[in-house]
Amino acid sequence: AQSVTQPDIHITVSEGASLELRCNYSYGATPYLFWYVQSPGQGLQLLLKYFSGDTLVQGIKGFEAEFKRSQSSFNLRKPSVHWSDAAEYFCAVGAGSNYQLIWGAGTKLIIKP
């Protein structure tokens, strides 16, 4: 069955430190992969997406993610986090031709001053 796993429910990082959020997926075909961010009380905003080609994709707000087919992973990274990055981050896999998404449960990012 298709699924997305985000192993960390929450992560605490000091401001200025690097960040990596993990995402593993189970999908039979070549996946379309997404990272979205949700600030408190807000909707979801697309950070980046991978469809094909270069496995390292750049997104908004200084985020990047790397697709590793052998590990079924699509981890999100940022070299130096800012307090404004505190939010919940969702990984998703696109399933089917209508961009239906299968979602991970989310990782809440907490920034320590």
Shortest Cβ 106–other proteins spacing (Å): 6
**Closest CA relative to residue 108, chosen from 86, 91, 93, 81:** 86
Instruction: Please identify, using beta-carbon distances, which residue of 28 and 43 lies nearer to other proteins.
Output: 43
Instruction: Please identify, using beta-carbon distances, which residue of 49 and 77 lies nearer to other proteins.
Output: 49
Shortest Cβ 2–other proteins spacing (Å): 11
Instruction: Please identify, using beta-carbon distances, which residue of 13 and 23 lies nearer to other proteins.
Output: 23
Return d(Cα 105, Cα 36) in angstroms, integer.
12
Shortest Cβ 24–other proteins spacing (Å): 14
Is residue 59 within 8 A of residue 75, CB to CB? The reply is no
Give the three-state DSSP class for 6: coil
Q: Left if phi > 0, otherwise alpha if psi is -120 to 50, otherwise beta: which for 72?
A: left
Place of tokens 């379309």: 32
Shortest Cβ 78–other proteins spacing (Å): 20
List residues binding other proteins (CB under 8 A).
4, 9, 32, 34, 36, 42-46, 49, 51, 90, 98-101, 103-106
